[in-house]
Structure 1
Amino acid sequence: MTVRELDAAGITDPGLRVAYSRSRHLNARYGRTYFLATRLLPPERRPAVHALYGFARRADDIVDDLGDTATTAERSAALRALEERLDAALAGAPVTEPVVRALAHTADAYAIDPSLFRDFLVSMRADLEVTDYATYEDLRAYMHGSAAVIGLQMLPVLGTVVPREEAAPHAAALGVAFQLTNFVRDVGEDLDRGRVYLPADLLAAHGAHRDLLLWSRRTGRRDRRIGSALAAAAALTRDVYREAAPGLAMLDPVARPCIGAAFVLYGEILDAVRRDGWSSVHRRSAVPRRRRAAVAAAGVARVTAARVGAAMRKGAA
């Protein structure tokens, strides 16, 4: 965490500064697109976004990266322990785990509904037991906790120019769109973890199924039915981006460049998967670095314009 960001956010307690710095490190290391977009926020709001990401990453690590020898029961117990520490921190009890401490401070500072964190952990626990989804509706129920609530957690930090409840459905939709994008991109990696997030009914509509995905992953061979299913999943995801799009104009002008950049870059991941021939069973597609830099540069220009406008309005008031 840069000293400038911490100072701008008014975070002076040494322990809290360490906690937020840990969350920022996780965001920078694992959330490439997310971190790049966060850099477009005003400095005083960045620590809160890092805290939200850091906690989500900690839970995700328990589910997927606790170690090859960890059992489902051990992972479940670790998630329960994380939730207990979070509940204690939200109630005002002292905690030592950095990402929990930073999250509790952020939740208090921005009055974020604690139920959003609990709903998130419900979906994380589902990943320990559920390995596929029969229908898109089933998947949407899972994504409420794993994705929609992330958008809702972010909304108080970003700020809105309309009543928050008006922007909330669009923020939730954007969280879902981002996660669906990840599902389209990460089919092979998810298979390696024993999961298929593409709904079985969507796969079946194109003649595909779980065993076909596993065969393709194992052999390295492609199948047009998989490509057709992925194209359909991408089209479905584009529809969710369209649901989310009206919410961009509802955000505080100084926050719009951040979310606008994420909106563009995540959407272009779908373009990258298409350019790679719908081969995400075998490889992880990415937006070229030069393109990410161009979007970030455009975002910086919009940030500057938004801040100048905000300063002028403040001076005129």
Structure 2
Amino acid sequence: MSDQPSRDVIVASAQESIARGSKSFAAASKLFAPKVRERAWLLYAWCRACDDIADGQDHGHGMTGVTDGPARLAAMSAKTEAALAGVSVGEPAFDALRLFAAETALPPALPRDLIAGFALDAEGWRPQTEQDLYRYCYHVAGVVGSMMAIAMGVSPDDAATLDRACDLGLAFQLANIARDVAEDARAGRCYLPQDWLDEFGIPADAMLAPEYRDRLGLLGERLGLLAARYEESARFGTPALAFRSAWAVLAAAGIYGAIGRKVAALGPRAWDVRVGTSGSAKLGFMRRAFGEARRRRALYPPSVRDAALWTRPR
């Protein structure tokens, strides 16, 4: 008799992980149908665990600093490969990936691409060009959007819908980068392309200095507008989803899209306080998304994706 934990036990652990790690994602997951909701929890648990391992955190909290980054990445990758091979890892988050991959025919390249994003951060990598920025956003968020679409029942072979799902991940990450410019700078990180900083004459090691604040505000606006373009593109993927999945996606697009729009609107004042979305505003976006989801085929008819937008690797 196997001592491998049951699916129910692994799912319960994943639910606990999302409850501890993200109240917003936990709330949004309630919009999904039960099967999709459980798979979203499973995927979240693995993503959260990898992020915690890479940054020395506990469910996104209490960053301790990491001095053994390569060893952490190697362990994370080995456990992920075991899970993808169907081996019981003995750790709930990686066994969550094992279940998720088995139930969805997940292409192994996708979780590997996420780990490649953690490797970039571990190397202290910085984007030099706008294309570098998009590639980073793909590895840390766009690929998660694609995996979430697969959780919602999208075929791994449906490249067009996965592109739109990736667009939503890119939109979220661009908005996050815009919101966190000051926080990242104080931590010695910068995700603004060096080309952009050169264009505006902003030194990366002094970007928060008062004399550069107006110019930095213009870059925050640029990021916010880019996030809005990818968010709009993502909406056209929702007719391929079941109603409840489309509702959740459109609600998330509104909630996180508001962050990018606020940064763009605030300009140089965007980092005086941390930009967020209130609880009442989130409920408003959920209500609005319900109507959008019902009319999604009329609102977002079949269309060719904007060729000017960056495209995920195949």
TM bin, normalised by shorter chain, reads: 0.7 to 0.9
When normalised by structure 1's length, the TM-score is 0.81
1:258 matched to 2:254: no
Q: Secondary structure at the match of 1:254?
A: helix
Say which of 99, 121, 127 aligns to 1:127: 121
Q: Deviations over 1:59-100 (max 9, x none)?
A: 2122223453530xx122122112111211221222111110
Alignment of 1:188-267 (within 5 A): 188-215=182-209, 223-267=213-257
* Contact 1:33–1:262 (CA under 8 A) maintained in structure 2: no
Q: Deviations over 1:4-54 (max 9, x none)?
A: xxxxxxxxx854333322322332333343332211001221111111112
Alpha-carbon shift at residue 294 of structure 1 (Å): 2.2
Per the alignment, residue 308 of structure 2 pairs with none
Greater Cα offset, 36-45 or 119-128? 36-45
Per the alignment, residue 90 of structure 1 pairs with 84
1:296 matched to 2:292: no
Say which of 145, 157, 180 aligns to 1:186: 180
Q: Secondary structure at the match of 2:237?
A: helix
CA spacing shift, 1:69–1:204, aligned 2, 3 Å: closer
Structure 2 CA distance, aligned partners of 1:112 and 1:206?
Answer: 42
Per the alignment, residue 101 of structure 1 pairs with 95
Alignment of 1:32-111 (within 5 A): 32-66=23-57, 68=64, 70-71=66-67, 74-111=68-105
Per the alignment, residue 304 of structure 2 pairs with none
Structure 2 CA distance, aligned partners of 1:161 and 1:138?
Answer: 28
* Contact 1:58–1:99 (CA under 8 A) maintained in structure 2: yes
Taking only the aligned residue pairs, the percentage that are identical comes to 29
Aligned length: 287
1:149 matched to 2:140: no
Structure 2 CA distance, aligned partners of 1:94 and 1:68?
Answer: 29
Alpha-carbon shift at residue 166 of structure 1 (Å): 2.4
Per the alignment, residue 109 of structure 2 pairs with 115
Structure 2: which amino acid aligns with 1:21?
A
Structure 1 CA distance, aligned partners of 2:156 and 2:6?
Answer: 35
Structure 2 CA distance, aligned partners of 1:132 and 1:282?
Answer: 24
Structure 1 CA distance, aligned partners of 2:190 and 2:288?
Answer: 36
When normalised by structure 2's length, the TM-score is 0.82
* Contact 2:172–2:256 (CA under 8 A) maintained in structure 1: yes
Per the alignment, residue 287 of structure 1 pairs with 277
Cα RMSD after superposing both structures: 2.7
CA spacing shift, 1:224–1:301, aligned 2, 3 Å: closer
Structure 1 CA distance, aligned partners of 2:257 and 2:198?
Answer: 25
RCO comparison, higher one (Cα < 8 Å, 6+): 1
CA spacing shift, 1:169–1:132, aligned 2, 3 Å: same
Structure 2 CA distance, aligned partners of 1:226 and 1:100?
Answer: 40
Structure 2 CA distance, aligned partners of 1:152 and 1:161?
Answer: 10
Choose between structure 1 and 2: higher helix proportion: 1
Q: Structure 2 stretches of 5 or more lacking a match? A: 58-62, 296-314
1:169 matched to 2:168: no
Structure 1 CA distance, aligned partners of 2:70 and 2:270?
Answer: 29
* Contact 2:215–2:268 (CA under 8 A) maintained in structure 1: no
Greater Cα offset, 165-174 or 236-245? 236-245
Q: Structure 1 stretches of 5 or more lacking a match? A: 1-12, 307-317
Q: Secondary structure at the match of 1:223?
A: helix
Q: Secondary structure at the match of 2:135?
A: helix
1:269 matched to 2:245: no
Alpha-carbon shift at residue 278 of structure 1 (Å): 4.4
* Contact 1:160–1:252 (CA under 8 A) maintained in structure 2: no
Q: Deviations over 1:172-203 (max 9, x none)?
A: 11111111111111112322432111212223
